[in-house]
Amino acid sequence: MEGTAVLERLTWRVAKVVAVHDETATARTLALAVRDWPGQVAGQHVDVRLTAPDGYSAVRSYSIASAPNSDGYIEITVERLPNGEVSPYLTQEVMIGDELELRGPIGGWFVWRNDQMEPIQLVAGGSGIVPLMAMIRSHRSAGSSAPFRLLYSVREPETVFYRDELRALSNQGDAAVITFAYTRVTPKDWPRAPSRIDAELITSGTWRPALRPTSYVCGPTSFVENATDLLIAAGHDRERIRTERFGATGERK
Amino acid sequence: MSATMNYLDGNAAAGELSRIFAMDITSAEGQCANCGAKRRFAEAHVYSNCPGLVARCALCGHVLLRFANVRGRVFLDLRGTTYLRVDAAKQEEASN
Amino acid sequence: MAIISRGFAGRRSAAEAKLPPGQYLTTDFPVLSAGPTPHISLDRWEFTVDDGSNVVKRWDWKSFRELPSETITTDLHCVTRWSKLGTPWEGVSLDVLLADVKTDLPYAMFRSYGDYTTNLPLKDVMNKQAWIAFKYDGADLEPEHGGPARLLVPHLYLWKSAKWVKGMTLMPHDKPGFWESLGYHIYGDPWKEQRYSND
């Protein structure tokens, strides 16, 4: 029937861990080779399912960090939560060669497609950087000239994910403009005292509303609500702000 | 953790809802049957830390959708949503 | 058939105590909720008993707290499979609350602030089987665990112990509440593993 679009039903697929890389003391990136992976759009996530020998299973959602590619592999970055059930396993137990099950790619709203030409504003709180990094990487690999800006709020310098890559991007200047905000501890000689995102940071660290950017805000729920309220107060159109909330402690169940 | 921020959003429900919905639900526009607000399902407040999944209107808190996957039987209650609108043409593009 | 994840066991610990089938022991106190935590001020709080047409009994916080209460130590069994043993509560028994309620209506729908409901046979909340609890572990019951007051019916799955309880409606027939209308068992006996409506 013309106009009907039935997406391929999401089934659980087997993924093999092919590489691991620590981003910070508590966050690890897993590179996964996924059988028959259909490809993804930047911003989508996967659900990962772990099953214990007695049949007990736990499912958690993780954003895909890597840019779309045709090699059938994806990367996810997992932050280890102090009372987590799944994240300690994924960040400390899992070894290269292990298999996981995952379902995806999931999500069609919180995505950036490389045919979008408007200015893009990315706002990340903590582990909320993951899907936004996929957008940055997708933007780069597509050679897109859409203007990109990132406002990345973290607790302290040691908690920045993808540090080297972001620094290299910063140095390139035209790739993406990056503003860091520190909420607890700043780098030495930092011009601002530690604080959560406020109106002043929005003014200095994001595209002005007149440019009509599409904004993507991701992080813990309280971060997303605060940042979104500030963007709207600064004059941004609610319709042009897309959000993705992680649990208050950063975990998406 | 503040108990008042104990929700996620429609993105978190998409994996489970894919058991019933053939199209991407996060980009669907839904109208709240209680207050009439029209929002993308991605923006709904989702409570999934319970025996099922409950999506509430971000404006008025009314239950838009309830879902439970109980041992292979899937239950869906959409009484709180007047309609869900999916842009079929865009979905077609997106899956290509 | 799901693939087994090497070395994954989850959060559970081995149970030495006898647990209902399919349950595991937890040492923390998980907070599960279908909506935002309501914050009810004590000068607004009330608990009412009605029969569908008329309010039969009403207490405000002051009169509720003047009722005789007792301490209970009991086990909790959640349908999401965790069990927590030896939990200490203080509350007013439903036997006390319903002492001079004369009714032949055999069922009740408990209603909470927010929009949660759960149904129970009246005989399951009488005879020392149920309380309106307002203290946990010696301290005022916290909002995220159902404070100022919640229903406590430990012989059934914990979804029947409605948090933020505000009243009960007596009914002639059993009617499914919030979870019971979405695939969960109408009664919910953990010892018979009555989790779902086809159990």
Q: How distant, in Å, are the alpha carbons of A185, C160, C169 from that of C112?
A: 43, 11, 11
Q: pLDDT value at position C191?
A: 97
Residue A95 lies in a domain: yes
Q: What is the CATH number of the domain that holds A22?
A: 2.40.30.10
pLDDT per residue, tens digit, chain B (96 aa), is 345 689 999 999 999 999 899 889 999 999 999 999 999 999 999 999 889 999 999 999 999 999 999 888 999 999 999 999 998 766 655 554
- C35 close contact with B: CB closer than 8 A: yes
Chains sharing 3 or more CB pairs under 8 A with chain A: B, C
Residue A220 domain-assigned (yes or no): yes
What number is the average pLDDT over the span C63-76?
98
Q: Are residues A143 and A221 in the same domain?
A: yes
Predicted ipTM? 0.91
pLDDT at A82: 87
**pLDDT score of B1:** 39
A89, C8: Cβ pair inside 8 Å? yes
Q: List the Cα angle A245/A249/A253 in 5-degree steps.
A: 60
Q: What gap in Å lies between CA C122 and CA C110, rounded to an integer?
A: 11
**Could you tell me if A193 lies within 8 Å of chain B, comparing CB atoms?**
no
Does residue A3 belong to the interface with chain B, where contact is any CB pair within 8 Å?
A: yes
Work out the average pLDDT over C5-27: 80
**Looking at the structure, do residues A197 and A233 belong to the same domain, yes or no?**
yes
d(CA C183, CA A252): 24
Q: Report the CATH number at residue A203.
A: 3.40.50.80
For residues A220 and A248, is the Cβ–Cβ distance under 8 A?
A: yes
Residue C86 at interface with chain A, using a CB cutoff of 8 Å: no
Nearest to C8 among A12, A14, A50 (CB): A50
Residue of C nearest to B6 (CA): C36
Neighbours of chain B (3+ CB pairs under 8 A): A, C
Domain tally for chain A? 2
Q: What is the pLDDT of residue B91?
A: 63
Radius of gyration of chain A (CA): 18
Cβ-based contacts of A53 with chain C (< 8 Å): 4
**B7 to chain C, minimum CA–CA distance in Å?**
8
Range 32-71 of B in CB contact (< 8 A) with C: 45, 47, 49-52, 54, 56, 61, 63, 66-68, 70-71
Residue C131 clears pLDDT 90, i.e. is over it: yes
Domain extents in chain B: 3-94
Whether residue C36 and residue B52 make contact (CB cut-off 8 A), yes or no, is: no
Within 8 A of C9 by CB-CB distance, chain A residues are 52
CATH of C42-192, one of 3.90.420.10, 3.40.50.720, 3.30.750.24, 2.160.20.10: 3.90.420.10
Nearest neighbour of A110 by CB, restricted to B7, B15, B26: B26
| Subunit contact B43:A249, Cβ cutoff 8 A | no
Which residues in chain A come in under a pLDDT of 50?
1-6, 249-253
| pLDDT tens, position by position, B12-36 | 999 999 989 988 999 999 999 999 9
Q: Is C11 on the interface with B (CB under 8 A)?
A: no
Mean pLDDT over the full length of chain C: 95
Q: Search chain B and give the residue with CA nearest A105.
A: B15
Using alpha carbons, list the distances in angstroms from residue A19 to A22, A75, A97, A252: 10, 9, 9, 23
Mean pLDDT of C23-45: 93
Report the range of poorest mean pLDDT among A177-181, A185-189, C3-7, C89-93. Answer: C3-7
The domain locations on chain C are 42-192
pLDDT value for A253: 38
Position A186 in a domain: yes
Give the per-residue pLDDT at C70.
97
Structure tokens that stand for A192 in this block: 């601002």
Within this chain, do residues A128 and A72 fall inside the same structural domain, yes or no?
Answer: no
C16: confidence class by pLDDT, cuts 50, 70, 90: low
Instruction: pLDDT band for C10, please (50, 70, 90 cuts).
Output: confident
Q: Say yes or no: A201 and A124 in one domain.
A: yes
B contact test, residue of C118, C178, C195 with most B CBs within 10 A: C178
Domain match, A66 and A136 both: no
Write down which residue in A82, A106, A130 finishes a domain: A106
User: Which residues 83-142 of chain C have a CB within 8 Å of chain B?
Assistant: 115
pLDDT, averaged across chain B: 90
Check residue A219 and give its pLDDT.
97
Distance of CA B20 to the CA centre of its chain: 12
Could you say which of C2, C7, C11 has the minimum Cβ distance to residue A49?
A: C2
Predicted local distance difference test score (pLDDT) of residue B88: 75
Q: Any CB–CB contact under 8 A between C21 and chain B?
A: no
Portion of chain C with pLDDT greater than 90, in percent:
88
Q: Domain of residue A98: give its range.
A: 13-106
DSSP strand E in C28-173: where?
Answer: 46-50, 55-60, 70-77, 82-93, 107-112, 117-121, 131-136, 139-140, 150-152, 165-171
Q: What secondary structure letter does DSSP report for A165? A: H
Could C182 and B6 be called an inter-chain contact, meaning their C-beta atoms sit closer than 8 Å? no
